[in-house]
Amino acid sequence: MFKSFYANVQLTAYLSKSLHWTAVDYDQKRRKTGEDQPLILDNLLGSGTPYHEDYGHVFESEDVSSWSADPKLSEALKNLTPSQQQILIGYYKHGQSNKEIAEQMKVSQQAVSRMRLLTIRHLRKVMDEGERDV
């Protein structure tokens, strides 16, 4: 009798721990995805209200300057180097990983990641300067 009770306690503890660590892993992956995809609007104009919209129609074109209705951002996208544009198209339009893009461009995965993040920072800077001018 005690053996079956103890086996149930061990099984319950095992399932509880497995569920806990699976939830932790899921949360970490979800946060990382949010950090890796900064063009997705999670917070519209600092209102605190989540903003979720289907942007599939935005990425229909291979011309990155057409991805935004904002003239400053469109101009900044148009002025990106061809490799920066290729990285953005691969990552955001085709959903490719940094590794897949790196293989196509024949550069390292780290170079693709760094260039994509620097490009996003540049675009944010352009947009921040545009907000200050208004």
Question: 39 in a domain, yes or no?
Answer: no
Closest by CA to 120, choosing from 37, 32, 31, is 37
Tokens of 86: 């290729």
**What CATH number does the domain containing 123 carry?**
1.10.10
What is the arithmetic mean of pLDDT over 42-48?
Answer: 49
50 confidence band (pLDDT: 50, 70, 90): very low
Type of residue at 11: L
Q: What is the residue range of 129's domain?
A: 55-133
For the segment 22-43, what is each residue's pLDDT rounded down to a tens digit?
888 888 887 777 666 655 544 4
Closest by CA to 94, choosing from 121, 130, 59, 119, is 59
How far, in Å, CA of 113 to CA of 116, rounded? 5
Residue 48 has pLDDT above 90, yes or no: no
- For residue 16, the number of C-alpha atoms closer than 13 Å in the C-beta half-sphere is 6
Predicted pLDDT of residue 44:
47
The pTM assigned to this predicted structure is 0.54
Question: 47 in a domain, yes or no?
Answer: no
Q: How many domains does the chain have?
A: 1
Q: Is the dihedral of CA 95, 112, 88, 52 positive or negative?
A: positive
How far, in Å, CA of 123 to CA of 119, rounded? 6
